[in-house]
């Protein structure tokens, strides 16, 4: 009886498999076909846009993270955590200069350290100022996990670019040392200030005013604190803070006409945001998020709470 039942079950299973295989063979290919990467240019489609063309400008960059066009059509490109590179005629017959630009901070050599963003001063044509951000390393910490982890301090710096090298580099603003940090972005406002993003993806720093992490900062062009920043004069608060409650902000733009500030914020697992940055506002992280933890559960019971910005 058992043998007969086994044979019947096996026959049924093979029949289902045969039908499934036939159906699969007759099923047309669905979705968007991948493109083969070659010399370029590439034409491809997405679910939202079609006929997108990508032209390769330069090759041979390691983790290109940010770039700034110069008035003459050249460009400076940051290789994240490492070097500043020069692209001659970036808007035309582009050519990557083989050697890194001299005068930048030394490559960090560890995760989270080193260079991030780069931008030219609005009056670069007359002052040759280039601004950049980096995570400055501290000494190895023997008590960290793992032992010897390097703490970092988010830093805004400025140098003069002579077309070949960065000269007279100086740190304009330096944050607190902490065991680890994320990326940072900078953007100039038309009223003579510079905005800077900082991250706080893994702790509650973003909700505290005693540190500059998980914030949008607003600084003068010399790295000072504007007198009308929202937390100036509040006991225990860093005066550089413009907004708080941010996780990992890796995009920043200022409308040159209206002055509106917009930041792109990455959630932990989903929950990405595009935020209109308004002075003194709290954007929720880590108390509220649309994202999930890396293990899968929702990060917070509700995505938005009282006194937080949507």
117-135 burial, b at 16+ Cβ within 10 Å, e below that, comes to bbbbbeebeeebbbbbbbb
> Which has more pLDDT, 182 or 118?
118
Q: Report pLDDT digits (tens) over 268-308.
A: 999 999 999 999 999 999 999 999 999 999 999 999 999 99
Give this prediction's pTM: 0.85
| Statement: residue 16 has pLDDT above 50 | no
pLDDT digits (tens, 9 = 90+) for 199-216: 999 889 999 999 999 999
Q: Which of 156, 209, 146 is closest to 180 using CA atoms?
A: 146
In the structure, what pLDDT confidence band is assigned to residue 32 with cuts at 50, 70 and 90?
A: confident
Residue found under tokens 């709470």: 305
> What mean pLDDT is reported for the chain?
89
Q: Would you say residue 189 has pLDDT above 50?
A: yes
Q: Identify the band that residue 108 occupies on the pLDDT scale cut at 50, 70 and 90.
A: confident
Distances (CA, A) of 4 to 17, 58, 161: 20, 68, 85
Q: 310 or 219: which carries more pLDDT confidence?
A: 219
């Amino acid at each position: 009886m058992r043998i007969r039942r086994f044979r019947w079950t096996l026959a049924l299973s093979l029949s289902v498999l045969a039908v499934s295989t036939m159906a699969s063979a007759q099923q047309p290919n669905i979705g968007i076909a991948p493109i083969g990467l070659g010399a370029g240019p590439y034409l491809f489609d997405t679910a939202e846009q079609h006929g997108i063309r990508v032209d390769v400008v330069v090759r041979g960059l390691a983790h290109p993270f940010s770039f700034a066009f110069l008035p003459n059509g050249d460009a400076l490109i940051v290789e994240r955590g490492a070097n500043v590179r020069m692209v001659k005629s970036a808007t035309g017959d582009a050519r990557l200069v083989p050697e890194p630009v001299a005068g930048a901070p030394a490559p960090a050599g560890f995760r989270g350290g080193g260079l991030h963003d780069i931008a030219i001063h609005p009056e670069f044509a007359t002052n040759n100022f280039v601004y950049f951000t980096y995570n400055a390393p501290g000494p190895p910490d023997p008590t960290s996990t793992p032992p010897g982890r390097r703490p970092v301090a988010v830093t805004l710096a400025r140098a003069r670019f002579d077309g070949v090298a960065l000269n007279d580099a100086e740190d304009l603003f330096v944050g607190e040392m902490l065991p680890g940090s994320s990326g940072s972005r900078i953007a100039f406002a038309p009223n003579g200030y510079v905005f800077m993003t900082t991250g706080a993806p893994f702790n509650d720093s973003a909700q505290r005013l005693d540190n500059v992490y998980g914030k949008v900062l607003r600084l003068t062009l010399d790295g000072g604190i504007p007198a009308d920043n929202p937390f100036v004069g509040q006991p225990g608060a860093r005066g550089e803070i413009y907004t708080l409650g941010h996780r990992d902000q890796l995009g920043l733009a200022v409308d040159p006409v209206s002055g509106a500030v917009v930041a792109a914020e990455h959630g932990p697992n989903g929950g990405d945001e595009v935020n209109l940055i308004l002075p003194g506002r709290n954007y929720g992280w880590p108390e509220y998020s649309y994202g999930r933890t890396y293990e899968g559960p929702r990060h917070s019971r509700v995505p938005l709470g009282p006194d937080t910005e949507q």
